[in-house]
Structure 1
């Protein structure tokens, strides 16, 4: 399946403290509960802390069970139900749900977006993933804009605007009738044009990311070839000696010059590719998206 056809991944504001981000990311289903306004669903009823012990006390009186035993049973049941209420998984889920409600505006779920916006966000995520996982990025050769920080922030800003655009698309669809009375089209057109302009701007932003990613892929290929050539270049003296020992003098000099020229040409191609990748990154940052 084409990765671009898949729904986007969860997006979390990269400015959140790491410990909160990890908690939110670990339980997408809890984030969905918070988004739909659901609360903890638990079968534990606190009234049982009083009803059941009381019931056993009545049984004890009726059947003449010693009071000490009745008290022990009551305390045991209270302790048991209290432990059930405070069970570790329950506490963890409750804590994460509280975090999800507290930071409801700091994460974006796929279902927060309509289908076109989902696809656009997925494209942005795919491009950033390619860049961050590239060998040249990991080697620090193109990281002149601090990709590890800048690119997640870029995806977050795009996702925020897509969420707002999706909401306005839905609202627009409810307000504007499918069939307008004659002569009324012009009155509604500026609103439709505003939505179209926002979409065009965000789509252009994503294309910039994809252009950067394509250049990084190209640079990665050149980088891998360059590393192989560097490994050979380290053995250039051996090749030169081999030629000098086995080929006529004039031809030997020609081959030796070719070795040096090829190494220089490979380095030039690699440096040009790095420069092009950095230029693509620069184009992306010339019109930065800012936080609302």
Structure 2
């Protein structure tokens, strides 16, 4: 599958408390049921058990006074309630998840909430965000232009909300506007079509800014790893020199290790430059978000 056409994954408003987010993430099926307004009913009482309890009460009534019957009824209700609590834990858990999803129905986005084009755009935004957050230089706190852990999920959520709205309006537009309007009035529909296209283009550019930031971060990540590897080798330079001195028979074949520190400095300079480029891309991303 074309990586630019992959389906997005579940997205939850990052401003939600972790306790609510955890419930929403636990069961995508519950989120879909909430979208459809489907709440599974509690398990019905087993007819056999109902008959047994009725027979028990009649038997107690025949042998005891009214007080004994009342005690028996209370005991049966208590046992029945405890049994129902223990008998269907999965059902209760699922109903709780659906209730939470219904209460926060506007705080999560499912893949089916978007059309294929908008879904592909959201997946691109999600991929770029995950690339930045998972990078070594981000985890090493070397990208201090923006707070990626807060800013990027929030921007992705904002983009997703707008993509859902765009997707809904495109669907409505297709229902209203005929595929081939009469030539005499075709121009009257053009501004509406262009408005949708302009909105999609604006969101695409915002996602491209996010992807450019991710690309610069990946580039800096590669140099960062190379810089660390060179620093490790630099610490072992005496071992390499000793090995060459002990084994090289021809001085002309001895590799020149004297410039290793200079090369490490050049890589370090390249790394700092690549981080600066990533920070510049982050600033551009914030500009695109504000526009």
Q: Tell me, yes or no, whether TM beats 0.5.
A: yes
The TM-score range, normalised by the shorter chain, is 0.7 to 0.9
Q: Quote the Cα distance in structure 2 between the aligned partners of 1:150 and 1:80.
A: 53
Determine if contact 1:34/1:104 at 8 Å carries over to the other structure.
Answer: yes
Q: Quote the Cα distance in structure 2 between the aligned partners of 1:256 and 1:49.
A: 86
CA RMSD, aligned part only? 3.4
Using a 3 Å threshold, how does the CA distance of structure 1 residues 70 and 6 change in structure 2: closer, same or farther? farther
Aligned length: 283
Find the counterpart in structure 2 of residue 21 from structure 1. 21
Q: Quote the Cα distance in structure 2 between the aligned partners of 1:48 and 1:155.
A: 54
Determine if contact 2:60/2:72 at 8 Å carries over to the other structure.
Answer: no
Determine if contact 1:49/1:77 at 8 Å carries over to the other structure.
Answer: no
Note the residue ranges of structure 1 that are not aligned, 5 or more in a row.
none
Find the counterpart in structure 1 of residue 228 from structure 2. 227
Find the counterpart in structure 2 of residue 173 from structure 1. 174
- What SS does the aligned partner of 1:44 have? coil
Find the counterpart in structure 2 of residue 204 from structure 1. 205
Find the counterpart in structure 1 of residue 191 from structure 2. 190
Deviation at 1:81, TM superposition (A): 3.1
For 1:32-111, list aligned pairs within 5 A. Answer: 32-44=32-44, 53-54=53-54, 56-58=56-58, 64=62, 74-87=73-86, 88-111=89-112
Using a 3 Å threshold, how does the CA distance of structure 1 residues 48 and 123 change in structure 2: closer, same or farther? farther
Determine if contact 1:49/1:81 at 8 Å carries over to the other structure.
Answer: no
Alignment partner of 1:116 is 2:117: yes
Deviation at 1:50, TM superposition (A): 8.8
Deviates more, 1:176-185 or 1:165-174: 176-185
Deviation at 1:23, TM superposition (A): 1.3
Alignment partner of 1:152 is 2:156: no
For 1:216-255, list aligned pairs within 5 A. Answer: 216-236=217-237, 255=256
Q: Quote the Cα distance in structure 1 between the aligned partners of 2:53 and 2:245.
A: 100
Find the counterpart in structure 2 of residue 277 from structure 1. 278
Using a 3 Å threshold, how does the CA distance of structure 1 residues 205 and 28 change in structure 2: closer, same or farther? same
Deviation at 1:202, TM superposition (A): 0.9
1:4-61 deviation digits (Å, cap 9, x = unpaired): 4432111111111111111111121111111111123322369999987556534666
Q: Quote the Cα distance in structure 2 between the aligned partners of 1:192 and 1:273.
A: 41
Determine if contact 2:145/2:283 at 8 Å carries over to the other structure.
Answer: no
Q: Quote the Cα distance in structure 2 between the aligned partners of 1:210 and 1:122.
A: 11
Determine if contact 1:11/1:107 at 8 Å carries over to the other structure.
Answer: yes
Find the counterpart in structure 2 of residue 266 from structure 1. 267
- What SS does the aligned partner of 2:182 have? coil
1:246-290 deviation digits (Å, cap 9, x = unpaired): 99xxx9xxx576233212211111111111111111111112259
Give the TM-score taking structure 1 as reference length.
Answer: 0.83
1:118-152 deviation digits (Å, cap 9, x = unpaired): 11111111111111111111111124311111111
Give the TM-score taking structure 2 as reference length.
Answer: 0.83
Determine if contact 1:165/1:198 at 8 Å carries over to the other structure.
Answer: yes
